[in-house]
Amino acid sequence: MNSNFIYRLVEVIDSVLKFMVQLIIFLMMVLIVSDAIGRAFKYPVPGVMEITEEYLMVAVVFLGLGFTQRAGRHIKVELFERWIPQLKAPLTKMILNAIAIVYFGMMSYYAWVHTAHAIQIKKRSISELAYPLAPAYFLVVIGCTVICIWLAIETIGALMPGRDKTE
């Protein structure tokens, strides 16, 4: 497979996830406003807070990880770069990306284990709706996997000057 094809494929997946995050934020807004209006008239929307906490916020945070990495908008500690300009070197970037890949890779793996366990025991929320929780855990797997791919692409780009498409 061509590396350009892989980059474009991950870019399309990431764009779909970004669009999903935008829809989810809109859905959260509609649900929470509806619930607030319903509470004013003593008819709240059942399960809004639980679904928002256990699904929608998880989706917003984790499905947006890849896009945030690709856009270069993750939080960076630049404190030491003022005093030690060499920290901006490609080697430092590769080392930090490798650490991040290990971290998010472990998160993805353990989220997958947690997802499989939740499916096996048919884990459900404790709310009155009793919806399954495995899909929410799987959102963590998706988000962490996508950011690992972007970090790997960025690291490979740092190894080959002029080929880093993420900057």
Q: In a structure prediction context, what are the per-residue pLDDT tens digits for the chain, which is 167 residues long?
A: 677 888 899 999 999 999 999 999 999 999 999 999 999 999 999 999 999 999 999 999 999 999 999 888 877 766 666 676 666 677 778 888 899 999 999 999 999 999 999 999 999 998 888 999 999 999 999 999 999 999 999 888 877 765 544 44
Q: What is the pTM of this model?
A: 0.86
Single-letter residue type at 9: L
Q: Which of 51, 53, 57, 64 is nearest to 16 (CA)?
A: 64
Locate 152 and state its tokens. 């790997």
